Homo-oligomer: A and B are copies of this chain.
């Protein structure tokens, strides 16, 4: 794995860590400051621009008492100044009741990072629910 690929994988891991720990400042830091940044939460309409994206995370974090990600199938692809990470988000969430009930879910994420003087920053996050077990990736 190249240095760049490793940096991108670290940036991707930091993104999920910020979500898990409800670290809104850290989350803001991870995103590119760009009115054309794009965030698609699973099953939702797109959120465009850093300030709207920040507000969406604030709302989601405020309504997520517990969340934990187990990433699988993490694939990093670096093309010069831009890199993509695709991964399966195996998500464990818990409700706000005393005796916690845990729920598992699975989503597919594409995260596209841009290289900036400050490091790799998230330009696009697109997560989608997995509705079928079917896949054609039989290479």
Seen from chain A, the residues whose Cβ lies within 8 Å of a Cβ on chain B are 36, 38, 40, 42-49, 51-52, 55-56, 59, 73, 75, 77, 79-82, 84, 86, 88, 108, 110, 112, 114, 123-124, 126-139
Task: Kindly report which residue of chain B lies nearest to residue A43, judged by CB atoms.
Answer: B131
Q: Are A44 and B77 in contact, CB atoms less than 8 angstroms apart?
A: no
Of B47, B82, B112, B129, the contact of A131 (CB 8 Å cutoff):
B129
Chain B residues whose C-beta falls within 8 Å of the C-beta of A48 in the assembled complex: 75, 86, 137, 139
Instruction: Please measure, in the bound complex, the distance between the C-alpha atom of A38 and the C-alpha atom of B85, giving whole angstroms.
Output: 10
CB of A126 within 8 A of CB of B110, answer yes
From B128, B134, B139, give the contact of A128 (CB < 8 A).
B128
Determine how close the nearest CB of chain B comes to the CB of A32; give it in whole angstroms.
9
Instruction: For A84, list chain B residues within 8 Å (CB).
Output: 36, 38, 112, 123-124
A84 to B36, CA, bound (A): 9
Taking a contact as CB atoms under 8 Å apart, the answer to whether B137 and A47 are in contact is yes
Q: Is the beta-carbon distance between B124 and A112 smaller than 8 angstroms?
A: yes
